[in-house]
Amino acid sequence: VAAQNDKELKNLLNEFHYADIAEILDELDLDNAVYLIKLLDSETTSDILTELDEDTREKVLGNLSAKEIAEEIEELDTDDAADIIAELSAERQKAVISEIEDEEHKAEITELLAYPEDTAGGLMAKELVKVYETWTVAGCLRRIRGQAKEVTRVHSIYVVNKEEKLIGRLSLKDLIVAKSEQKIAEIAKENVDWVNVHDDVEDVARIMAKYDLEAIPVVDNDQTLLGRITIDDIVDVLKEEAEKDYQLAAGLTQGVEADDSILDLTRARLPWLFLGLLGGVGAFIIMEGFQEAFNQYKMLFFFTPLIAAMAGNVGVQSSAIIVQGLANDDLKGSINSRLIKEMLLAALNGVILAIFLFLFVWIYNNEIDKALAISISLVAVIIIAGLIGTFVPLFLDKRGIDPAIATGPFITTSNDILGILLYFWIAKLILGI
């Protein structure tokens, strides 16, 4: 790049896939990135734009005029075009759209911009191959040659009636294998899966993954064919979804990456740490409250990190398995049966662990009453922690709140405090103080 021998550079870059060029641009400084974007054809650069990091793209687009952006947009499929325009300010959106020359493309992009990002409408593309049930195979082949040129990948051909309502589908293969005088209505498969334009993208992803679909048509409430969603967009949805859940479980506000700035990372991490700090202060207050009572049993205070850790671990384990079950939609049975199962499970784990702890304290300390008090409290703490870990995500899900926030620091902190409180309370009871 330094030498800026345009011709050589252009030839060199043309050898690369656009996803690789995007990776290179993400690492260059802005001036050089913009320089390269302007150097290449809009056919390549439009694809590169879709693959750039959001931050880099925002900066690059900031350096292009509305007309230049519109030229890139013209090369893109409607779904990618709408995604890029949606990232611009309202004012620039207008400017860019007015510069798009292809009136049909302009109308389609404007339509897509109206759908919320997390619905089927926000994910779909207008590009698809559509045939009418009354056409013949031969006529159909002839006419879809025109349509197919605009569509990067054909997947399915959608069959509609004269009111544009979706009534079936065909594969290119069916068309090639069929006799040329057959009517489309005869060879179309009628049981076509579809999603409504207002459906949640996560539901769309679940349906496509479950039925192994590579594309699904999108219809409105009247069954009118509006667009289609392809599996590559769903792969992105699934990846984002998994990353979001993972980050929430780790105590990170969603959407950060290792290469974000220290300030962005602080914003993602500090609120959860602050929650932990409050929990720690709560634990301090509880322990101070029990200070007098346990004056002769100071040793008990030294087990609070153990109790807190176990309560936290059990809570995260049980909530994670519920969150995952909810995400995969494979939880069966009532909340009560879940809670009973978790109680038995936690009791079994708790008793096994408590036996080890009892033996340790007994051997180390030779005071059977303390050993017993600590061990029995541990079992109780583990059971309660398991129940909370099971109940909270189920409860949040019923309320329509993302259960993934219940894993991680949220459950750990509340279980820490509750576990320590329970521990001292039960120990006090057993030791008869």
- Of 302-321, binders to a copy of itself (CB under 8 A) are 302-310, 312-314, 316-317, 319-321
257 lies in the site for a copy of itself, by CB under 8 A? yes
Residue 353's CB: how many other CB atoms inside 10 A? 17
Nearest to 300, CA basis, from 359, 238, 369, 249? 369
Residue 125, token pair as written in the block: 């593309």
Should residue 186 be labelled a site residue for a copy of itself when binding is judged by CB under 8 A? no
Could you say which of 280, 362, 430, 433 contacts a copy of itself (CB under 8 A)? 280
194 binds a copy of itself (CB under 8 A): no
CA 154 – CA 227 distance, rounded (Å): 13
Q: Compute the distance between CA of residue 185 and CA of residue 98 in angstroms, rounded to an integer.
A: 40
3-class DSSP state for residue 120? helix
Q: Which residues make Cβ contacts (< 8 Å) with residue 401, sequence separation at least 6? A: none
Between strands 129-132 and 156-160, the pairing is parallel
- Please spell the DSSP secondary structure of 293-346, one letter per residue: TTTT-GGGGGGHHHHHHHHHHHHHHHHHHHHHHHHTT---S-HHHHHHHHHHHH
**What track of x and - describes contact with a copy of itself for positions 329 through 348 (by CB under 8 A)?**
-xxx-----x--x--xx--x
Binder among 45, 119, 377, 413 for a copy of itself (CB under 8 A)? 413
Q: Site residues for a copy of itself, window 79-108 (CB under 8 A)? A: none
DSSP annotation of 405: G
- For 203, half-sphere exposure in the C-beta direction (CA atoms, 13 angstrom radius) is 12
Contact residue for a copy of itself among 231, 380, 383, 418 (CB under 8 A): 231
Tokens 């998994």 identify what position?
242
Q: Considering the complex, what minimum distance in angstroms separates the CB of residue 95 from a copy of itself?
A: 29
Q: For residue 249, state whether it binds a copy of itself (rule: CB under 8 A).
A: yes
Q: Kindly tell me which of 39 and 209 has the beta carbon lying closer to a copy of itself.
A: 209
Among 71, 245, 376, 406, binds a copy of itself (CB under 8 A): 245
Residue 14 interacts with a copy of itself (CB under 8 A): yes or no: no
Pair of tokens at residue 236: 């992105």
Nearer residue to a copy of itself within complex by CB, 95 or 192: 192
Indicate the residue among 36 and 307 with the shorter CB distance to a copy of itself.
307
- CB-nearer residue toward a copy of itself: 115 or 423: 423
What residues numbered 376-405 form the site for a copy of itself, per CB under 8 A? 382
Q: Using CB under 8 A, which of 243, 335, 428, 433 touches a copy of itself?
A: 243
d(CA 172, CA 170): 7
Report 197-216 residues binding a copy of itself (CB under 8 A). 209-212, 214
What is the size of the binding site for a copy of itself (CB under 8 A)?
104
Among 229, 283, 387, 388, binds a copy of itself (CB under 8 A): 283
H/E element, 168: strand 166-171
Q: How many CB atoms lie within 10 A of CB 341?
A: 13
Please choose, out of 59-67, 96-104, 180-188, 275-283, the segment that lies near a copy of itself by the rule CB under 8 A.
Answer: 275-283
Query: Which residue of 35, 132, 135, 246 would you call a contact of a copy of itself, by CB under 8 A?
Result: 246
Minimum distance of a copy of itself from residue 366's CB (angstroms): 14
DSSP letters along 226-242, please? EEEEEHHHHHHHHHHHH
Shortest distance, position 51 Cβ to a copy of itself, whole Å: 8
